[in-house]
Amino acid sequence: MHRYGFGFMGIFGIIFWAIFIILAVWVISVGFKLFDKSNIIVEKRDRALEILKERYAKGEITKEEFEEMKSDLDIVQLLRFFVV
């Protein structure tokens, strides 16, 4: 005799695959959001670094101040990437 229905796992199989698909979609969407945010952060850091270089070139800040601010930008970029 042949069995009709949902197959070998029954309703639990349907629940399992529904949860699996929902989690897969969620992981993919989070990945895209992180990728998008990391691009924005890099663009903002690049612009901030340009401004910093301009200020140094104009003589508004010393070499020590430039190096300190540049390292601050690197730290902020790293923190934003992991926190955001």
Q: What are 42-54's pLDDT values in tens digits?
A: 677 788 889 999 9
In a domain, 67, yes or no: yes
In a domain, 2, yes or no: no
**Structural domain range at position 82:** 34-84
DSSP state string for 17-68: HHHHHHHHHHHHHHHHHHHHHHHHHHHHHHHHHHHHHHHHHHTSS-HHHHHH
- 0.75 cut: is pTM over it? no
In a domain, 14, yes or no: no
C-alpha pair distances (Å), 70 with each of 59, 60, 62: 16, 15, 12
In a domain, 49, yes or no: yes
In a domain, 65, yes or no: yes
In a domain, 66, yes or no: yes
Number of domains in the chain: 1
Q: What are 57-73's pLDDT values in tens digits?
A: 999 999 999 999 988 88
Quick one: pLDDT at residue 51? Answer: 92
Cα 35 to Cα 31: distance, rounded to the nearest angstrom:
6
In a domain, 12, yes or no: no
Quick one: pLDDT at residue 21? Answer: 94
Cα 68 to Cα 79: distance, rounded to the nearest angstrom:
17
Cα 69 to Cα 30: distance, rounded to the nearest angstrom:
31
In a domain, 1, yes or no: no
